[in-house]
Amino acid sequence: MTTGVIAAGDKETAAAGAAMLRRGGNAVDAAVAAAFASFIAEAGVVHLGGSGIAQLYDARTGLSRVYDFFSVMPGLGGARPEPLDFEAVVIDFGAATQRFYLGRGSVAVPGNVAGLCRLAADYGRLPLTDLLEPAIRLARDGVALAPFQADTCALLAPLYTHTEGIRRVFAPAGHVIRPGERLHIADLAETLAALARAGAEYARSGPLARALLADQAARGGLLTAADLESYEVLRPTPIRLPYRDHEVLLPPLCSAGGVLTAFTLRLLSAFGVAERPHGSAAHLQLLVEVMAATTRARAQWDGWLEASPGDEATARLLDERLIDRYRDEVRAALADRQPSPIAAEPPGPSNTSHLSVMDADGLAVGLTTTAGESAGYVVGGTGYIPNNMLGEEDLHPQGFHVRPAGRRIPTMMTPAVILHNGRPRLVVGSGGSARIRSAILQTLSNLLDYRLPLGEAVNRARVHLDGDVLQCEVGYDARAVDELEAMGYRVNRWAARSIYFGGAHSVACGDDGALWAAGDDRRGGATAGV
């Protein structure tokens, strides 16, 4: 009998989680161990110095809980340094370039250590020394970098060669690390071993915190001791909504992605999705229109967030009267077979990683982390690579460093749990900026509307509405796409599968209790079961 399954962004990440299940740990133990391992195995996209959001559901007790350990604006009790270490680099994505900012002034208050340790202490079975053992081994021995991770490092070469310290990690032989070459992060094994012994205080006020703060103070950063001491892991209850004969649990703010996904699902639930053949022009148009309606609604919601508390603004967005108005707009577009108005949407950071875990006792965990792209340096003597969440233009539309110290930064991260008759049916999340929502929407609909097997639900071709252009991944029937274009929709046809469309690593439980896992092959997906 399978006692647990995990889907993650790398085989070493999945193996770390499976190792905890074999030791008698539960899904929380597996998720925490896997997340720490990902900071080495998936160092192309995530780091210890980042932050995240997790969601768990326990079928035995009915407990549902979100763990919000996302980044917070720094600077409590401190003065802005002059000069601020805040430098731009430009990344060439081929079809477009994007500017990111690095340096000590790009570092937001990190949450990974606090959040993962709190999650393990609250609901795990195994000690932190066990949970960190796989990560310590990977940090000590190095890891052969998977193609997806190496390709990401190559793409982000200006960030991962920005300083001498980070070049020693990502370009030790004079070139950016290549697939199969071993990645070593000097001193990180010792840092993780000390963290395993001391717990979260090691990063809050202990030696790791002191090293990070000393580096910040000496080199133009904003982080203060008060920032680290006052940081809180929030534990809100999720947004709950019905979808077909299931219940969907989504994280609330600071997860803008969770709130907006709730809006999209409320829209979609009014339409007979399965009546439209999968991949047909009718199916694609429905997806486009609910995405477009959500983006238009987001523009309203963003304005409400500026003028009122987050809970109040969210309640207005999810009010049935507003949703009915947008449903009518979708119906009109479908009936007229022509596009509805399009609004632009800021994408947000795409360097994220998601993992999903479920055990035989009915405990389910979804966990998503990010470090932005990293701040371009390593804290000396620790192997600790900080985030650059203050250097993401998309997260700071009003300008850099203008939010007050202590304010949480919004995120698109959306680890979701779907229930059927009180039991976890699906755990899904994704990396990929604004594509997180479209990846989750389509994976969920593929499974619950079209009843596809989990592997197909995760890896079927996807679409994403980017401005007024529908990005269409290879795999759709060209005739259906032609028909959509004839209606007046602008379409960009992709010739290959791409990380652009997210990485929805998912686990599911069948009606017979069988557990399944599916990695998204766009982002190095890997699975393991025990």
List the catalytic residues: 352
Which of 67, 60, 62 shows the shortest CA–CA distance to 26? 60
Give the contacts of 369 (CB within 8 A, at least 6 positions apart). Answer: 35, 38, 46, 50, 51, 52, 112, 352, 353
Q: Is the peptide bond before 153 cis (omega within 30 degrees of 0)?
A: no
| Residues 203/113, Cβ–Cβ less than 8 Å | yes
Q: Provide the token pair at 443.
A: 């994976």
β-strand 515-518 against 506-509: which pairing, if any? antiparallel
Which of 346, 189, 165 shows the shortest CA–CA distance to 260? 346
Q: Is 462 helix (H, G, I), strand (E, B) or coil?
A: coil
Nearest-angstrom CA–CA distance, 136 and 381: 16
β-strand 490-493 against 469-472: which pairing, if any? parallel
Give the contacts of 62 (CB within 8 A, at least 6 positions apart). Answer: 422
The alpha carbon torsion through 123, 128, 131, 135 (nearest 10 deg) reads 140
Give the contacts of 306 (CB within 8 A, at least 6 positions apart). Answer: none
Q: Provide the token pair at 3.
A: 């006692």
